[in-house]
Structure 1
Amino acid sequence: MNISQKDLEIIMQLIMYSGEAKGLAMKAIQEAKRGDKGKADELMKQGHQTLVKAHQAQTSMLTQEAAGEEIPIQLLTIHSQDHLMNTITFLDLAKEIIELYNR
């Protein structure tokens, strides 16, 4: 089964936004480590906003499937979902780490 251009774009958005959100959370941890709580909080806010974009990409895939459209389940599709789940976990952990640095 081949992935359509539309599906490929959605999958790549999911990977891209997830990676960007994770990167922002990592930068937030580094800022908290340096003692810049304000910058850390701003980066985490940006990370969550970017995560919303990843969720929107995922939701478009789920909506397609719910409408009866076939979503190709290939390694790239699974990889994109893996990125999203890892990013969600990473943001949760980053929040806790930043809180510890702020003490």
Structure 2
Amino acid sequence: MGQFNQEEVIMNLVVNGGDGRGKALKAIDAAKDNQMDLADQLLKESNEALLKAHQFQTQLIQENMGEAGEKPDLLMVHGQDHLMTAMLAYDIAVKMVEMYRIFYSKNNQEVPI
């Protein structure tokens, strides 16, 4: 992952978490429009971004272990929150894409307007 200062680690946590969340939500939209290949690609990209964010999160936690009593700064808390909501969005997107896949395969319906 390379050498990053704490602020860079936190910013990477926020950026990659946001990217993962955004791609997960776009995957749901693609599935809704019966664009399953695009939905699958977006889920893959979402997962890759979230894995990067998780690596930065792990680095941040490891670097700050043993510093008992220090208050986490607001940016770090924001980064953690960003990653957790992004991971939840990804999990929901995976389920919803599968739901749309089943719906379209069973109903053999056209893409909704």
Q: What is the TM-score when the length of structure 2 is the normalising length?
A: 0.79
One-letter amino acid of the counterpart of residue 86, structure 2: T
Partner of residue 35, structure 1: 34
One-letter amino acid of the counterpart of residue 91, structure 1: Y
* Separation in 1, partners of 2:34, 2:21: 20
* Separation in 2, partners of 1:72, 1:27: 36
One-letter amino acid of the counterpart of residue 94, structure 2: K
Q: Does 1:61 align with 2:60?
A: yes
Secondary structure in 1 aligned to 2:76? helix
Structure 2 residues not aligned, in runs of 5+: 103-113
* Separation in 1, partners of 2:33, 2:94: 15
Structure index of larger Rg: 2
State the Cα distance separating 1:65 from its structure 2 match.
Answer: 2.1
* Separation in 1, partners of 2:71, 2:22: 28
State the Cα distance separating 1:6 from its structure 2 match.
Answer: 1.1
Q: CA RMSD in A?
A: 1.8
Q: How many residues align?
A: 98
State the Cα distance separating 1:69 from its structure 2 match.
Answer: 5.8
Structure 1 residues not aligned, in runs of 5+: none
* Separation in 2, partners of 1:64, 1:32: 40
Report percent identity of matched pairs: 38
State the Cα distance separating 1:60 from its structure 2 match.
Answer: 0.8
> What do the CA deviations read for 1:39-82 (whole angstroms, capped 9, x no partner)?
1011101110110100111011112123x468761111111100
* Separation in 2, partners of 1:31, 1:54: 24
Partner of residue 48, structure 1: 47
Structure with the larger helix share: 1
* Separation in 1, partners of 2:54, 2:67: 19
Partner of residue 100, structure 2: 101
